[in-house]
Structure 1
Amino acid sequence: MTSKEESMRRWAGRVALVTGASSGIGKAIARTLVQHGMKVVGCARNVIAIEEESSLLKESSSPGLLHPIQCDLSQEKEILAMFDQIWRKFGGVDVCINNAGISHAASLLDGDTQKWKNMLDVNILAVAICTREAVKQMAQKGADDGQVININSISGHKVTQSKDSHFHTATKFAMTAMTEGVRQELREVGSMIRIASISPGIVETEFVSRMYPDNPSKPAAMYKSMQCMQPEQISSTVQYIMELPPHVQVHDVQIRPTEQRN
């Protein structure tokens, strides 16, 4: 057994929540954690895709399990119902991966207000609610070595040049601030629960395609312009953070394709 496998052994049998687990980065993270023996709750609006992944993982005899829950993260009552189900079925979470995020092409000077609100609900409020409820459950079950990981973005540290992304960038700056705020509050109460942020550059997923549903050539051209990262590179970064001993906290990892300029 390698030292990395030894480091992940302490998570075997424990419970992780991965939001936005139906595709892309969330799907890759959920698969990695199941393969290391964790009980993973994967949530998304499209729960069918998670159910299919759960069946595939069972067929491959993965040591953990993937439990799908349908949840619209823009609705607090659905988030709270999900955490209630996690508590009743699994006894609470040990790890919370806030991966779900959304971007609309809605600039600051002429963007649609409803699209702004949707980004606020999913990218900021849902992350805050999930983090609050996860830390509550960790404290209640005595998981003082629990881990929260926010899947942020390079745009959470610099303003992009594309006006279509400016409001989304503002939500990611908020996530950067929120990560540090949670870290400070955990230290204030003497908790050893850790929080980390992973800020990827361009990853080849459905994310940009959903941003431009009527212009498929735009994401296609971007993904062809360089050798993009794949979701597995982000899930391996999650694993790296979780492998570290409880007294070591990774705060922020910025990771981008070598060819990406901005």
Structure 2
Amino acid sequence: MERWVGRVALVTGASEGIGAAVVRDLVCRGMKVVGCARNVDKIQKLSDELKNEKGSLTAIRCDLSKEEDIVNMFKTIKSNESLRGVDVCINNAGLAHNAPILSGQTQEWREMLDVNVMAVTICTRESFQSMKERNIDDGHIIFISSMSGYRIANEAFTHFYAVTKHSVRAIVESTRQELRELKSHIRVTGISPGNVDTDFAVKMMKDKTKGNNDYRYMDAKDISSAVIYTLQAPSHVEINDVLMRPTEQIT
């Protein structure tokens, strides 16, 4: 990770869960991290906790469902003298609703598409443009996706969420191919976890009793460890797909 010391990483959905774990690991390893979310107070609190670490954390409020917010965030990063641009983009933010194909609410489908697909694509584009204008050819774009991008579970409440995560899988490979056509050495990685011990399922089901199984879930720091693993790979190695499950998870 030495080559990343002092360089800039953007982490979306940085206020809690996997995003906060990734932020912590990157700051402790000396990166200048920009963390964005709608709840910027949580990121600022994390920034205060990490103030004595090797790197730094800058909190930016951003509603990822709004393109204007995303574009303005990148402008803010560019105008900051200590940042100037993005070298690593970690597309972590995502959401899910209990909205099956046959009975779901259109607005909930749109919200999932806006955050899980459109925001991911816009952040990827803006990160690449930031790297390109500064002649950064060794950057990295990482997508925190889901095992739902690789299989369709038999629970109907996960089905439209799976639609969005299959889209992310396509974005990962499309981005890789476009960068290769440009003869760029910017690398692309998709990390797809199974069940992780966060509030994700609780928010999806709007029920604190849902989403619990009788086996140990992965921790957010387990996913963050995969991020670190891909970032520290040799420059000639591109780790494109990482699939992770709790050992006892069935699908």
- Give TM class, smaller chain: over 0.9
Alpha-carbon distance, 1:10 to partner: 0.4
Match of residue 63, structure 1, among 54, 58, 69? 54
2:236 corresponds in structure 1 to 247
Show the counterpart of 1:5. none
Match for residue 17 of structure 1?
10
Aligned-residue RMSD, C-alpha: 0.6
Shift in Å, 1:55: 0.1
Give the aligned length.
249
What is residue 72 of structure 2 aligned with on the other side? 81
2: CA distance between counterparts of 1:244 and 1:83? Answer: 27
2:165 equivalent among 166, 172, 176? 172
Cα displacement (A) at 1:123: 0.2
Q: 1:217 aligns with which of 209, 219, 232?
A: 209
Structure 2's unaligned 5+ residue stretches are none
Per-residue Cα deviation, 1:29-76 (whole angstroms, up to 9, x for no partner): 011000010000000001000000000001xx2010010000000000
TM-score, length basis structure 1: 0.94
The answer to whether 1:258 aligns with 2:250 is no
Could you list the per-position Cα deviations for residues 131-181 of structure 1 after superposition, in whole angstroms to 9, with x for gaps in the alignment? Answer: 000011011112100000000111100011110010000000000011000
User: Secondary structure in 1 aligned to 2:50?
Assistant: helix
C-alpha distance in 1 between matches for 2:210 and 2:225: 28
User: Structure 1: where are the runs of 5+ without partners?
Assistant: 1-7
Overall identity of the aligned pairs, in %: 50
Shift of 1:245: 1.6
TM superposition score normalised by structure 2: 0.98
Within 5 Å, which residues of 2 pair with 1:1-262?
A: 8-58=1-51, 61-89=52-80, 90-213=83-206, 215-219=207-211, 221-222=212-213, 225-262=214-251
Q: Which amino acid aligns with 2:68?
A: K
Q: Hey, which bits of structure 1, 4+ residues long, moved more than 6 A?
A: none
The one-letter code of the counterpart of 2:226 is T
Amino acid corresponding to residue 197 of structure 1 in structure 2 = G
